[in-house]
């Protein structure tokens, strides 16, 4: 449901099978593009990052990491990937590069690791060396571990301050999100080596984990740093309805499960509150039907000048790419661009402004949006 004053428009594209649509020009309210298939045959691709030489590095949820050549050729799975538990929503998930990757070759993987009879979201740093990953270092393990396969979160972004931010889910145990002694349901901030910065908001607070940057999150599925302002943005899955976009502030509480626009599966209420004092309200809410957002990017570069500064969100349930228009810290417009029946798992913007999308399926692909007249 749109907020008052928000403009919602649908892209001018007729949903077709992708095979028929690949050569079509997709016309939206502000731009037109064609879809180029960069690579296909990926099993549940989850995260992608662009290397400085034009290649891509992509994760597959079952536990693999591959390189994609500039010719679209997929490498075999890279040797040295960390052990990963692929169970329900867990597996090999997000990937980001160190800000000085060209110098040090460091790749950060967020994946699910085993511990006794339970699992946890884990960030591992490795060095990309040719066709293998080496020198693994555990940067963060989300504890306490939990014995289910849900709500791992696992999105990452480097800030302009050089710190690594990562968002995690509540593991389908909602009260964890409000517990400052628990890393589940939180956004964390650590150095590139995994140390706790001295200026984190809960450093020195008894009973609180010093890695925490913000809390009260249900299941983070998108995280980005705006290169123009340095601001940290996130989106997360609600339960039934209540998917939301937030501007992340130091030490803030984002409400889950004390306040939410969603309801339990089946319709039972979670809380009577949509807003509470001392808690941050979302800047954008989708409901009563969830779109299941996944992947998050801000448009920069020359390829789509009319989209400059807009936020792009992939949608799994809605099978679309969603463009959000900003005015300062407000979201004032939304455009839904149908993606030919495909679930969109990740969204990244290349340095030249073209957009990469990952399609979420057992026969997943990497698409690139190229501007068209």
Q: What is the pLDDT of residues 222-242, one digit of tens each?
A: 999 999 999 999 999 999 999
CB 176 within 8 A of CB 166: no
Q: Which helix (H) or strand (E) holds 357?
A: strand 355-359
Q: At 164, which CATH number?
A: 2.120.10.30
Q: Count of domains in the chain? A: 1
Using CA atoms, how far residue 124 sits from 165, 192, 305, 361, in Å, is 13, 11, 36, 25
Q: Scanning the structure block, which residue is given the tokens 């972004």?
A: 157
Residues 339, 317: Cα–Cα separation, whole Å: 11
Residue 1 forms part of a structural domain: no
Strand duo 355-359 + 344-349: pairing = antiparallel
Q: Judge whether residue 3 has pLDDT over 50.
A: no
**Whether the bond into 257 is cis, omega within 30 of 0:** yes
DSSP 101-167: HHHH-EEEEEEEEEETTEEEEEEEEEEEETTEEEEEEEEEE-SS-BSSS-----EEEE-TTS-EEEE
Q: Which sign, positive or negative, has the C-alpha torsion 319, 324, 330, 333?
A: negative
Strand duo 7-10 + 330-338: pairing = parallel
What integer is the mean pLDDT of 287-305? 97
Structure tokens at 162: 């050089």
CB 107 within 8 A of CB 126: yes
Q: What is the model's pLDDT at position 13?
A: 40
Going by pLDDT thresholds of 50, 70 and 90, the confidence category of residue 20 is very low
DSSP letter (8 states) at residue 307 = G
Residue 189 forms part of a structural domain: yes
Q: Judge whether residue 2 has pLDDT over 60.
A: no
Residues 187, 202: Cα–Cα separation, whole Å: 12
User: What is the length of the chain?
Assistant: 373
Structure tokens at 27: 């016309």
Nearest to 140 by CA among 94, 104, 173: 94
pLDDT tens digits along 120-133:
999 999 999 999 99
Q: Judge whether residue 9 has pLDDT over 60.
A: no
CB 257 within 8 A of CB 271: yes
Residues 129, 239: Cα–Cα separation, whole Å: 41
Q: What is the model's pLDDT at position 24?
A: 85
Q: 97 has which bridge partners?
A: 107
Going by pLDDT thresholds of 50, 70 and 90, the confidence category of residue 249 is very high
Active site residues: 151
What integer is the mean pLDDT of 267-282? 97
**Whether the bond into 217 is cis, omega within 30 of 0:** no
Q: How many other CB atoms sit within 10 Å of the CB of residue 70?
A: 11
pLDDT tens digits along 65-117:
999 999 999 999 999 999 999 999 999 999 999 999 999 999 999 999 998 88
- Residue 112 CA, chain-centre distance (Å), reads 16
CB 91 within 8 A of CB 103: no
Using CA atoms, how far residue 320 sits from 13, 154, 179, 291, 372, in Å, is 11, 21, 34, 9, 19
Mean pLDDT over the full length of the chain: 94
What integer is the mean pLDDT of 246-263? 98
Residue 2 forms part of a structural domain: no
- The dihedrals phi and psi of 19, each to the nearest 5 degrees, come to -55, -35
For the chain, give the percent of residues with pLDDT over 70: 94
What integer is the mean pLDDT of 362-367? 97
Domain encompassing residue 241: 7-371
Q: 59 has which bridge partners?
A: 65
Going by pLDDT thresholds of 50, 70 and 90, the confidence category of residue 18 is low
Residue 101 forms part of a structural domain: yes
Q: What is the model's pLDDT at position 14?
A: 34
Q: What is the model's pLDDT at position 21?
A: 53
Quick check: pTM over 0.75? yes
pLDDT tens digits along 171-210:
999 999 999 999 999 999 999 999 999 999 999 999 999 9
Residues 6+ apart with CB under 8 A from 24: 13, 16, 34
Structure tokens at 301: 């570069």
């Amino acid at each position: 449901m749109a907020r008052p004053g928000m403009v919602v428009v649908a892209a001018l594209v007729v949903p077709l099978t992708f095979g028929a649509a690949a050569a079509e020009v997709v016309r939206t309210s502000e731009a037109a593009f064609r879809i180029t298939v960069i690579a296909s045959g990926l099993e549940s691709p989850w995260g992608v990052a662009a290397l400085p030489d034009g290649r891509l590095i992509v994760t597959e949820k079952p536990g693999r990491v591959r390189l994609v050549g500039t010719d679209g050729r997929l490498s075999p799975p890279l040797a040295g990937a960390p052990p990963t538990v692929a169970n329900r929503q867990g597996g090999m998930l997000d990937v980001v590069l160190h800000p000085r990757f060209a110098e040090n070759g460091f790749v950060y993987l967020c994946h699910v690791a085993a511990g006794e009879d339970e699992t946890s979201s884990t960030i591992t740093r490795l060095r990309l060396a040719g066709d293998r990953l080496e020198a693994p270092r555990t940067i963060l393990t989300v504890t306490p571990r939990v014995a289910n396969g849900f709500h791992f979160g696992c999105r990452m972004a480097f800030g302009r301050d050089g710190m690594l931010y990562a968002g995690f889910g509540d593991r389908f145990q909602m009260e964890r999100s409000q517990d400052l002694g628990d890393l589940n349901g939180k956004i964390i901030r650590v150095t590139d080596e995994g140390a706790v910065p001295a200026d984190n908001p809960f450093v020195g607070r008894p009973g609180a984990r010093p890695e925490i940057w913000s809390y009260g999150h249900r299941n983070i599925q998108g995280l980005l740093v705006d290169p123009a302002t340095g601001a940290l943005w996130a989106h997360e899955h609600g339960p039934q309805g209540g998917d939301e976009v937030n501007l992340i502030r130091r030490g803030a509480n984002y409400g889950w499960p004390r306040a939410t626009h969603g309801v339990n599966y089946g319709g039972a209420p979670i809380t009577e509150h949509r807003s509470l004092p001392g808690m941050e309200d979302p800047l954008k809410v989708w409901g009563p039907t969830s779109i299941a957002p996944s992947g998050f990017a801000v448009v920069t570069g020359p390829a789509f000048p009319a989209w400059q500064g807009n936020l792009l969100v992939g949608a799994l349930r809605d099978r679309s790419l969603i463009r959000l228009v900003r005015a300062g810290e407000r979201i004032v417009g939304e455009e839904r661009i149908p993606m030919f029946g495909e679930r969109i798992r990740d969204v990244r913007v290349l340095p030249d402004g073209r957009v990469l999308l990952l399609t979420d399926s057992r026969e997943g692909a990497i698409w690139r949006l190229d501007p068209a007249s």
